[in-house]
Amino acid sequence: MSKRKGSNAERELLNMLWAASWAAIRSAGSGSMHFPSPDILAGNGIRRLAIEAKATKDIKKYFSPEEIKQLINFAQYFGAEPWLAIKFSSSWVFVNPEDLRKTANNLAFFEKDAENKGLSFEKVVNG
């Protein structure tokens, strides 16, 4: 995924969160800093979400174990729920890191698993 495509997906998700009455910010330099930082932090006064946002035209999205470890660690320190938000084609799927499949070297989420293991944006933000 190009950096521009990723940034556009993050901005789209940021706008969706604000439209759903959640405060949200993009984390500058996420993925390139020494400290773990998710792409987006969001909260509604009751819940806090640490979100790693990705967009793909493929039928699957891979994550490194280190990337997932950092998301979970940050969420624990911050008191937030760790989520992966994956945009497959035109729809967003929210995935709990525990629902990723192990592959030989990475972790993956497959679009076909979205119905059983993923949540829609509406389900995540509306509880």
Class of domain 3-125: alpha beta
For the annotated catalytic residues, the residue numbers are 30
What was the pLDDT predicted at 1?
46
Lowest mean pLDDT among 5-9, 73-77, 81-85: 5-9
- All residues at 6 or more sequence positions from 48 whose CB lies less than 8 Å from its CB, including other chains: 41, 42, 78, 79, 80, 81
At 50-73, the pLDDT tens digits run 999 999 999 999 999 999 999 999
Domain spans of the chain, in order of start: 3-125
- The whole-chain average pLDDT of the chain stands at 91
At 11-65, the pLDDT tens digits run 999 999 999 999 999 986 655 567 888 999 999 999 999 999 999 999 999 999 9
What was the pLDDT predicted at 4?
66
And the tokens for 127?
């509880």
**How far is CA 18 from each of CA 12, 71, 92, 109, 115, rounded to the nearest angstrom?**
10, 22, 16, 26, 25
